[in-house]
Amino acid sequence: MDIRVRYAPSPTGHLHIGNARTALFNYLFAKRKDGTFIVRIEDTDTERNVETGIESQLDHLAWLGITPDETIGQNETHGPYRQLERLDIYRQHAEALMEKGLAYKCYCTKAELEAEREAMREAGEDKLHYSRKCLGLPDQDKPYAIRFKVPNESTYPFEDIVKGDVRFSSDDIGDWVIVKQNGIPTYNFACAIDDHLMEISHVLRGEDHITNTPKQLMVFDAFGWTPPTYGHMTLIVNTHGKKLSKRDESILQFIEQYRALGYLPEAMFNFIALLGFSPDAEREIFTPEELVERFDERRLSTSPATFDAGKLAFINNRYIKTLSLEATVALCRPFLEEAGIGQGQDDDWMESLVAVFKDRLSYGKQIVNLYDDFFNRPFAIEPDAMEIITQTGVDELIRAFTRLVEQSTTLDADTYKALIKDAGNATGMKGKMLFMPIRIAISGTMHGPDLPKMMHLLGRDVLIERLEQTLTIRETSDK
């Protein structure tokens, strides 16, 4: 059997991390099995559609490296791929069901249904199912929706790729609407019809869809079709265990946001692939090719996948480290320019800046924070570092080094390195007691980037200023 899978977003906005995960896993599944990856647009909620929604979805998918084999304007063997262009198809199928007595027209208004549900709620009913009061009514000249007549006492079992045996009882499902009053089908109806007509073999989707599965199975049953194999992937939750909510602004959830911050697409691909899937390996960094190779639907996790921003930062940092200096400069430059950093400086300076921070960079825009923290922070020495600064001989060392800097005419990283050495020779300081006081004197901290490079970047004036400040701080505190 041909493997055909689909990613079926509604064009309601930007690409969400959860949808990206669904798209990615379907893509991996298809590529792994030499199948076809289809993108279908589910735009049946006309009120929520966004004009540029389709374009935006495809664009961000492409950025991630996820490209459809079949979609709008591309290998249209099973089109159209936009549900609003398939209205006739759904209409015909709904008619067919009504003829068979498996569906019926419902003339209830929204208000009536609301009242009906409210009454049931007050009566303490668990199941707020539609009363079926329109079932068997003669045709009327009023607007109507079409409902599926859910069979009694049927069970809908299926073997879920992720969850194993799952079954639902039809008694828990009320007669649901398959075609809305506006003539547009509902999600579950359109989805089932399309999955059949597009010959979808496997449906990998989020677990929030699992209760939709029996409804879709009913449609397959009603037409005598064979349903696809379903797999429901775990939800992506935040660190508090809650499903990622698009309204939660404490977590960046749209691919576009990461793209704008200078995250790398391969790193995002890597990170997202680990959301509910774990390759059989003792590492976490994988190229897209490796992920395709290693993807195994049997290794999809059953417990919720936690969105761990720290891990994303780690993965992206690992990818940035493998970049060439030129590529990293290219990544950072727009953010630096936007922040007005490096104006009047030459390309060498910008390259030095990036070189100094490259290894600690988690995303492109972070260069701005690192820069600010390094240059614009009021100079202070952290408590741990004071212990070293106050040791005897340190003042002499700093004075000696300051003098050398003042006297030197050429000041590049290599010169600074030599000057440190000279200061050591002049004062008898060496090893940690040579480098550490100087490091602290110019950065205020014991940890940081390469010392000579850092000095070069800081520039002679700031350097001398900080060295002098350090002496002052030392004198006023060492008692």
133 part of the interface to RNA, by CB under 7 A = no
The smaller minimum CB distance to RNA, of residues 100 and 421, is found at 421
Question: Is 417 among the residues known to form the active site?
Answer: no
For RNA, which stretch binds (CB under 7 A), given 64-72, 202-210, 363-371, 469-477? Answer: 202-210
How many alpha carbons lie under 13 Å from residue 295 in its C-beta half-sphere? 24
Compose the 373-412 pattern: x for residues touching RNA by CB under 7 A, - for all others: ----------------------------------------
* Near RNA by CB under 7 A: residue from 137, 447, 475, 477: 447
Q: Phi and psi for 157 in degrees, rounded to 5? A: -90, 150
Binders of RNA among 336-375, rule CB under 7 A? 359-360
| DSSP secondary structure letter of residue 228 | P
Q: What is the rounded CA–CA span in Å between residue 279 and residue 274?
A: 8
CB of 276 to RNA, least distance (A): 7
Residue of 163, 180, 243, 246 with catalytic role? 246
The alpha carbon torsion through 132, 135, 138, 139 (nearest 10 deg) reads 80
CB of 344 to RNA, least distance (A): 28
User: Rounded to a whole number, what is the largest CA-CA distance in the chain?
Assistant: 106
For RNA, which stretch binds (CB under 7 A), given 41-49, 53-61, 367-375, 469-477? Answer: 41-49
Bridge partners of 243, per DSSP, are 237
Q: Are 178 and 94 in contact (CB under 8 A)?
A: yes
H/E run at residue 140 = none
256 part of the interface to RNA, by CB under 7 A = no
The smaller minimum CB distance to RNA, of residues 174 and 459, is found at 174
Cα 256 to chain centroid distance, Å, stands at: 9
120 part of the interface to RNA, by CB under 7 A = no
449 part of the interface to RNA, by CB under 7 A = yes
| DSSP secondary structure letter of residue 359 | G
Q: What is the rounded CA–CA span in Å between residue 380 and residue 442?
A: 10
The smaller minimum CB distance to RNA, of residues 260 and 415, is found at 415
| DSSP secondary structure letter of residue 469 | H
CA angle 417, 418, 419 (to 5 degrees): 90
186 part of the interface to RNA, by CB under 7 A = yes
What is the length of the chain?
479
# residues contacting RNA (CB under 7 A) = 82
* Near RNA by CB under 7 A: residue from 207, 266, 297, 395: 207
In one-letter notation, the amino acid at residue 455 is M
For RNA, which stretch binds (CB under 7 A), given 278-286, 327-335, 393-401, 458-466? Answer: 278-286
328 part of the interface to RNA, by CB under 7 A = no
Count CB atoms within 10 A of the CB of residue 99.
9
The smaller minimum CB distance to RNA, of residues 222 and 451, is found at 451
Binders of RNA among 209-248, rule CB under 7 A? 209-212, 234-235, 237, 239, 241-243
Active site residues: 246
